Amino acid sequence: MANEVCFRNLDLDRPWLLDQYQRRGGYEMITRILKDQVAPSQIIDEVKKSGLRGRGGAGFPTGLKWSFINRDLPGAKYIVCNSDEGEPGTFKDRDILRYNPHALIEGMVIAGYAVGANAGFNYIRGEFWEPYERFEAALEEARKAGFLGKDILGSGFDFALYSHLGAGAYICGEETALLESIEGKKGQPRYKPPFPAQFGLYGRPTIINNTESLASVPEILRNGGEWFRDLGVENSGGSKLFSISGNVSRPGNYEIPMGTPFAELLEMAGGVRGGRELKAVIPGGSSAPVIPGDQMLGLNMDYDSIAQAGSMLGSGAVIVMDDTNCMVKVLERMSYFYYEESCGQCTPCREGTGWMYRVVHRIEQGEGRQEDLELLDDVAAKIQGRTICALGDAAAMPVAGMLKHFRDEFQYHIDHKKCMVG
Amino acid sequence: MPGSPKAKLETVAYHLNGSAINARPGETILESAARHGVEIPHLCHKPGLRPDGNCRACLVEIEGERVLAIACCRRPTPGMAVRSDSERARRSQRLVLELLRSDVSGTPQDSANELGQWCQRLAIAKPRFPEGPQPPADLSHPAIAVRLDACIQCTRCLRACREIQVNDVIGYAHRGAASRIVFDLDALLRTSSCVGCGECVQACPTSALAPAGASRFAAPEKAVDSLCPYCGVGCQLRLQVKDNRILRVEGRAGPANQGRLCIKGRFGFDYVQHRERLTRPLVRRDGVAKTPNPDFTADLRRVFREATWEEAMQRAAAGFRDISERHGPHSLAGFGSAKGSNEEAYLFQKLIRTGFHSNNVDHCTRLCHASSVAALMQMIGSGAVSNPVADVRKAEVILVIGSNTTENHPVAASFMKNAAHAGKTLIVMDPRRTALARHADYFLQFRPDTDVAMLNGMMQTLIEEDLTNDEFIASRTTGFAALKAHLAAFPAERVAPICGISARTLRQVARVYAGSRGSMIFWGMGISQHVHGTDNARCLINLALLTGQIGRPGSGLHPLRGQNNVQGASDAGLIPMVFPDYQRVDEPEARRRFESLWGAPLDARPGLTVVEIMHAIGDADATDRIRGMYIMGENPAMSDPNLPHARHALSRLDHLVVQDIFPTETVFYADVVLPASAFPEKTGSFTNTDRRVQLGRQALAPPGEARADLEILVDMARHLGLDWQYAHPRAVFEEMRRAMPSMAGITWERLEREGSVTYPCRREGDPGEEVLFGEVFPTADGKGHFAAAPFSRAAELPDAEFPWILITGRRLEHWHTGAMTRRSRVLDAIQPAPTVDLHPTDLDRLAAGTGDPLRIRSRRGEVVAYARADPGMQPGQVHLPFCYREAAANLLTIDALDPDGKIPEFKFCAVRIEPA
Ligand SMILES: Cc1cc2nc3c(=O)[nH]c(=O)nc-3n(C[C@H](O)[C@H](O)[C@H](O)COP(=O)(O)O)c2cc1C
Ligand code: SF4
Ligand code: SF4
Ligand code: FES
């Protein structure tokens, strides 16, 4: 039941080429839609039906998002794909760009048709030079074949698509910072509302979706929304790419149906490396609160299951830690990341990430004070929900999660000025 | 608006901290709370700036919402229950303050610091966290001190710089904790593109950006609401005063400036304290002869001795009486000042007319917009602007020609830039690519001196393409047929090679101008200061009449007036051919009115203009040779064209009385020098370029024995045998209302109350008319009169001997002849030496580099100035500002005059350049 959607061509030789993509029915959907002049609302309904939720991290229903755009509004509208893939632990979009770029292109053209947008941008993480080149090549193929550009397949529908290479800032994965960045400005999130569907790229209505969300669209339409929904479970339609990393034997991307037990995924990845004990798992990218290993073994990989355990499925990046990992050190490393990557715009995040890092750092260094744990609790609690974008939350949640599940390790560091793990 | 039934319908009723309150339409929670006396902490919010929501100090709890909201961005909805004082909201606000406080813990959190104030109010104790590393201070700029250790990253400065003044200097660089305010690409402020407007200083809540010098920490004794003394924009400001010194200047929300100022208005007030202030009356020492080229750096005491006021006044008056008795009243003349108040201008011209019995009274309007006024009077019957600068907000198209607005009317330019960024079409036409051009949709860098050809070409396009407003032409104008016949010789394709702008562009710009729902034309001295200046202006007026782009909000004509009160001084009759309110001296009816008002016989003969007076001094054969002059607050020894001639003339005067605050160059030709008051030392009304009459209020006592100019004038009148009684400027203003129907409705009390009233305001209670000519023009027949302008060339064209074109102009930091600004420590530190602008390729041609001295010679004189490369110049042209005594540009200029406006051709003469 694996590799049904985004990875479905993985078995082909050089699946990124246009003719390979077409061999399995690629571009048939857009061809049919344009030929039959399928009603845009019908497409959006199908996507809604599929239960596809945003694969970028927040899990917002994709069809619903598309319906926020007023299709009849005159003037420019845009489709933007978020291939910034900055969340630590996540590396699935890179493989879509590498191995299935045409699915993304087709998905974007369909999205453009559905919301009445005639131009799109794919914002690609700055370090993804090789995937960027491959995507560019695919764009060129698609343009030559007439799937992009003016009057696509004689339908009268225009859609131009460009890629835009980032420059190495995590914050540019946040959708409004990303828009600023495309506009040539410093990547800083915008205050919302207004949301991109009203005021997006260059102030025009814009749909922003993650690479995986958009690349799933052609398969959803080909097989029908229900088919996709039924791949997964209630509230979590479809199959999804999980990037599993850390102390496992075979780290990598696995496309599996939503709701698959974590234990199965772990097994696919070869189990904990060296047969060691599973200590903890971060189930959805570094921003997701940590879950203790034994609890995790009882969970399924879908939105509700993980949320009920107090964490989130996020981007589907599963970071596995065994008993050699010091949780203080893990948190120190993650805090440093957010401290480094905060855009610096709003006070709680700019100053708070620095505070949190400095305090965790001094605990790690054996210089912690008893009041530090309350301080961390306090600051983490007061950053959440008080910032312009979700990076503040992303920085605070791991802190809260670590202190909840592994407080004793932190206490040990403070009391003994050394590590429990050794 | 509040209280009106409509407004009531749109207000939003909601609950704040348990009380029911109303928010006005569009108001945020923060704004409506503040109006109801509920204080919510805020730092990145400042009225007038776009809310940015970055500091998060204003977090409030909204019932039914999971996360807190920021009060500065959030608008209430009906019935919403908001708490700014709940435990959760307060704790969040306090965390923000504590975080910021710890970030700047090394800097004083005093009453001048908004963060400190909020910390005090919310009782934030010493923060629990250590301070991070801080950037070093940047004290490179003479006006602005940068101490980012106090910065809280609120970006108020950035928004002020980029969105209000649109100078685009300040940026927010780097990421996260390393985020920092930077200038350009992290340059020192002094070397950045900063223009020193200080909008950021005014915006900064923490004094991280502050005026340079100690004033950051001194507490003022009083605040005086007044005006800026420099340009015609008429910015309102507040002077913070202590110990008879100005500590700090802030922009006020006047109608012309909305709180904005430029570098001169904000940082250029220290001239009043300059050690060279004249503080006692002076009389020329016996035996010190006048020479055409005195040493202007000489010790004043070697030329003059101090005198009592009584002696000085007696001498001054006796000299005038003596000349008048022996040679007749026409041998006397007076130059008033566009820097003085309306009341001063009015009394000065009244003194010349009733005390000297001559109409030989003029002022620098002659040197700036006399030609524009001549054309406007001739064609539409009124010399003032039709619409205020603020109308750029209502216009669709803004055409700026012959104006370096960003340097000469910086605050007006900021509104133009705002408009351009709001999507209005900005057209800039100028031989020099000025800073405004960067914001323009169309920039036409035409050949100097070809305005008439170019503008006629645009008009011919409108006729050819049938884009004229025929209904307007038929109902509101006369003379179209003649203009049409005249324009037939100017197809765009024919004028293109003359002006250097392609026919396609000329046509396109003409269409854009004509086709919009509202087009405004702004012009400056690039139009007026030519021997064909009146023709230049005529073309602009023709253009407006052809298209009907006049008489509506956002549609009209605006000659940007130069001096702060050149409009008012002209209105007050400081002009040789007209009494106050432009009533002609040679018109018997007008004369009779003024004779009865002033109780004195008046001369029917129009007097001489500025340059004509200079000629009449030198001309020994003239029956009316000018022998005696009274000069108040003008500096013809710097400002007149062909200075070698003008200075020679000044040195030949039998009797010269100069009333000024500094020993200007003109003072060195004086017999009697009267120490006067600087702008902040007196009260008076001033009329800006928009026709707004505004009040300047006294903030300081004059130094030493210096006296208010009005008092000196009254004293002078008495010494000339007139019985003048004016106890206060108010009394003069009352008389002016009787003399000037257009201002009759403005009372002094209203000026004191409202700070600004626009004329015409004929009856008390009239609101004042901002936009004129909606129905008729104030001409005899009520119509606008087309006036065909023939294409002619400058008086002196380049030739083999003098192959370069000289354009004179100004620098942002200096005012006119530099009398004030070169004595401002801050302003002179930024522009300390004479520089001349040339195209870089020209510098190469001269084998000279930036900073090298260049000798510039004309048929009249020569100066040496330092080279400055300016790619905005066209090759073969040089630009030299006229504010530097040591390289006085007017030693070079030609005194050829426009026949109608009598304005000299400051913008064009031939020179030769070589390395010095
Ligand atoms: C700090 C931050 C970083 C983010 N980085 C990414 C990213 O790298 N890729 C991504 O798809 N979404 C990222 N997001 C989420 C996007 O803002 C946005 O929700 C997403 O692109 C929407 O697409 P989807 O609905 O298809 O998931 C990030 C959000 C935040 C707050
Ligand atoms: S939460 Fe952090 S990253 Fe997001 S806008 Fe605020 S400072 Fe920038
Ligand atoms: S310098 Fe002042 S105004 Fe600018 S960000 Fe810092 S505190 Fe705010
Ligand atoms: S004042 Fe509201 S966020 Fe700064």
B296 in contact with A, Cβ within 8 Å: no
Runs of H (alpha helix) within A183-302: 211-223, 225-231, 262-268, 293-296
Greatest CA separation for chain A = 74
Structure-model confidence comparison of residues A338 and A422, the more confident one? A338
Beta carbons of B89 and B57 less than 8 angstroms apart: no
**Which residues of chain A lie closer than 8 angstroms to B90, CB-CB?**
none
Q: Is 70 exceeded by the pLDDT of residue B782? A: yes
| ipTM of the complex model | 0.90
Shortest-distance atom of ligand 4 to CA B73: 2
Task: Determine the distance separating the centroid of ligand 1 and the alpha carbon of A65, expressed in angstroms.
Answer: 14
pLDDT at B124: 87
In the numeric block, the tokens 């301080």 are attached to: A375
Residue A189 Cα, ligand 1 centroid: separation in angstroms?
A: 11
Q: What pLDDT digit, counting tens, does each position of B110-149 carry?
A: 767 899 999 999 998 877 776 667 889 999 999 999 999 9
Say which residue the tokens 């009391």 belong to: A415
List alpha helices for A289-370, DSSP H.
293-296, 303-308, 327-341, 347-364
Find the ligand nearest to A65 CA: 1
In angstroms, how far apart are the furthest CA atoms of chain B?
A: 93
List residues of A whose CB lies inside 8 A of any B CB: 169, 171, 186, 188, 191, 339-348, 350-355, 358, 375, 378-379, 382, 385-388
B576 touches B606 (CB < 8 A): yes
Measured between CA atoms, how close is B66 to chain A, in angstroms? 8
Q: Is A101 helix (H, G, I), strand (E, B) or coil?
A: helix
Average pLDDT over residues A314-328: 97
From residue B885, give the alpha-carbon distance in Å to each of B206, B293, B525, B560, B834: 40, 12, 21, 26, 9
B72 lines ligand 4 (CB under 6 A): yes
Ligand 3 mean position to B44 CA, how many Å? 9
CA-CA distance, A377 to B894, in Å (whole number)? 78
Mark yes or no for CB contact B176/A353 under 8 Å.
yes
Inter-chain touch A344–B172, beta carbons under 8 Å: yes
Helical pair A40-50 and A211-223, crossing angle rounded to 10 deg: 100
The average pLDDT across A2-22 equals 95
Segment B609-643, tens digit of pLDDT = 998 999 999 776 667 799 999 999 999 999 999 99
Backbone phi, psi, residue A135, to 5°: -65, -40
Residues of A in contact with B172 (CB under 8 A): 186, 188, 344-345
Name the closest residue on chain A to residue B72, using Cα atoms. A191
A386 vs B56, B153, B176: nearest CB: B56
Are B104 and B152 contacting, i.e. CB atoms less than 8 angstroms apart? yes
pLDDT at residue B400 above 90?
A: yes
Q: Is B157 in the pocket of ligand 3 (CB under 6 A)?
A: yes
CB contact under 8 A, A382 and B92: yes
The pLDDT tens digits of the residues spanning B857-880 come to 999 999 999 999 999 999 999 999
Residue B807 CA to residue B811 CA, distance in Å, equals: 13
pLDDT at B611: 87
Tokens 């291939």 belong to A83
Contact B67 A388 (CB under 8 A): no
Mean pLDDT, residues B174-186 taken together: 94
Min Cα distance B250 → chain A (Å) is 28
> Are residues B68 and A385, on separate chains, in Cβ contact within 8 Å?
yes
**For residue B739, is pLDDT > 50?**
yes
Q: Which of B96, B27, B26, B35 is nearest to B60 (CA)?
A: B96
Rounded Cα gap, residues A39 and A42, in angstroms: 5
Q: B48: CA distance to ligand 4 center in Å?
A: 14
Residue A14, Cβ density class (10 Å: 0-12 exposed, 13-18 middle, ≥19 buried): exposed
Q: Which residue of B has its CA nearest to A342?
A: B176
Give me the mean pLDDT over the A156-162 stretch.
98
Q: Across B49-169, where does the E strand assignment appear? A: 59-62, 69-70, 81-83, 144-146
Rounded Cα gap, residues B498 and B440, in angstroms = 23
Answer yes or no: is the C-beta of B653 below 6 A from any ligand 4 atom.
no
Whether B4 has a pLDDT exceeding 70, the answer reads no
Q: pLDDT > 70: what percent of chain B? A: 97
Supply the pLDDT for residue B661. Answer: 97
Ligand 4 atom closest to B42 (CA): 1
CA closest to B43 among chain A residues: A347
Instruction: Measure the CA–CA gap between A192 and B85, rounded to whole angstroms.
Output: 24
Q: Does residue B100's CB lie within 6 angstroms of at least one atom of ligand 4?
A: no
pLDDT higher than threshold 50 for residue B6: no
What pLDDT is stored for residue B102 in this prediction?
Answer: 85
Question: Residue B10's pLDDT is what?
Answer: 79
B43 Cα: distance to centroid of ligand 4 (angstroms)? 6
pLDDT at B754 over 90: yes
* Stretch 115-144 of chain B: residues touching chain A, C-beta under 8 Å: 128-130, 132
pLDDT for A92-105, tens place per residue?
999 999 999 999 99
Instruction: Supply the mean pLDDT for chain B.
Output: 95
Has residue A421 got a pLDDT over 80? yes
Among chain A residues, CA nearest to B179: A344
pLDDT tens for residues A227-279? 999 999 999 999 999 999 999 999 999 999 999 999 999 999 999 999 999 99
Core vs surface per residue B826-844: b (16+ CB within 10 A) or e: bbbebbeebbbbbbeebbe
CB–CB contacts below 8 A, A to B: 86
If pLDDT is split at 50, 70 and 90, which confidence band does B7 have?
very low
Q: What is the C-alpha separation between A344 and A354, in angstroms, rounded? A: 10
The CA distance from B186 to the nearest CA of chain A, in Å, is: 15
- Centre of ligand 1 to C-alpha B459, Å, is 55
The model's pTM: 0.92
Distance from CA of A135 to the nearest CA of B (A): 29
User: What is the C-alpha to C-alpha distance for residues A293 and A314, in angstroms, rounded to an integer?
Assistant: 18
- For residue B5, is pLDDT > 80? no
Q: What is the pLDDT of residues B672-727, one digit of tens each?
A: 999 999 999 999 999 999 999 999 999 999 999 999 999 999 999 999 999 999 99
Whether residues B153 and A350 touch (CB distance < 8 A) is answered with yes
Interface check B176 vs A, CB under 8 A: yes
Q: Chain B partners of A350 at a C-beta cutoff of 8 Å?
A: 153, 176-177, 179
Alpha carbon nearest to ligand 4 atom 1, residue: B42
Span B442-492, pLDDT tens digits: 999 999 999 999 999 999 999 999 999 999 999 999 999 999 999 999 999
The total number of residues written for chain A in this structure = 422
Model pLDDT for residues B63-81, shown as the tens digit of each residue? 999 999 999 999 999 999 9
User: Does the CB atom of residue A125 touch ligand 1 within 6 A?
Assistant: no
Cβ-in-10-Å burial (0-12, 13-18, 19+) of A10 comes to middle
Q: 10 Å Cβ neighbour count for A263?
A: 16
- B54·A388 Cβ contact <8 A: yes
Q: Is B64 within 8 Å of chain A by CB?
A: no
Per-residue 3-state assignment (H helix, E strand, C coil) for B375-406: HHHHHHCCCCCCCCHHHHHCCCEEEEECCCHH
Write out chain B residues lying below 8 Å of A188, CB-based: 172
User: Mean of the pLDDT values across residues A320-329?
Assistant: 97
pLDDT band at A2 (very low <50, low <70, confident <90, very high): confident
Q: Which residues line ligand 2 (CB under 6 A)?
A: A 171, 189, 342-346, 349-350, 387-389, 391-392
Structure tokens at B135: 């950037």
Q: Is the pLDDT assigned to residue B607 strictly greater than 90?
A: yes
Q: Which ligand is nearest to the CA of A188?
A: 2
Q: Cα–Cα distance between B431 and B808 in angstroms, integer?
A: 12
Res. B438: pLDDT tops 90? yes
How far away, in angstroms, is B421 Cα from ligand 3 center?
24
Instruction: Please judge whether A191 and B103 are an interchain contact, meaning their C-beta atoms are less than 8 angstroms apart.
Output: no
Ligand 4 centre to CA of B153 (Å) is 12
Subunit contact B55:A382, Cβ cutoff 8 A = no
List, in order of start, the domains of chain B with CATH numbers: 5-121 (3.10.20.740), 144-273 (2.20.25.90), 282-293+301-368+565-758 (3.40.50.740), 370-555 (3.40.228.10), 804-915 (2.40.40.20)
Residue nearest atom 25 in ligand 1 by C-alpha distance: A54
Contact across the interface for B54 and A352, Cβ inside 8 Å: no
Question: For position B622, what pLDDT does the model report?
Answer: 65
The closest of B256, B561, B555, B519 to B399, measured between CA atoms, is B519
Which residue blocks in B489-609 are alpha helix, DSSP H? 492-499, 503-515, 525-528, 533-547, 566-571, 588-598
The residue behind tokens 């609302």 is A41
Nearest Cα neighbor of B449 from B883, B884, B874, B890 is B874
- Residue B217 · residue B112 · CB < 8 Å: yes
Set of chain A residues whose Cβ sits within 8 Å of the Cβ of B66: 385
Say which of B56, B91, B177 has its CB closest to residue A354. Answer: B177
What is the best residue among A94, A127, A175, A313 to mutate for testing ligand 1's pocket, by most ligand atoms within 8 Å of CB?
A175
**So what's the pLDDT on residue B481?**
97
Q: Looking at this protein, which amino acid is placed at residue B215?
A: S
Q: Which of A192-196, A295-299, B544-548 is the least confident region?
A: A192-196
Condensed to tens digits (0 to 9), the pLDDT of residues B233-283 reads 999 999 999 999 999 999 999 999 999 999 999 999 999 999 999 999 999
Would the CB of B69 count as within 6 Å of ligand 4?
no
Distance CA A164, CA A380 (A): 34
Q: How confident is the model at residue B1 (pLDDT cuts 50, 70, 90)?
A: very low
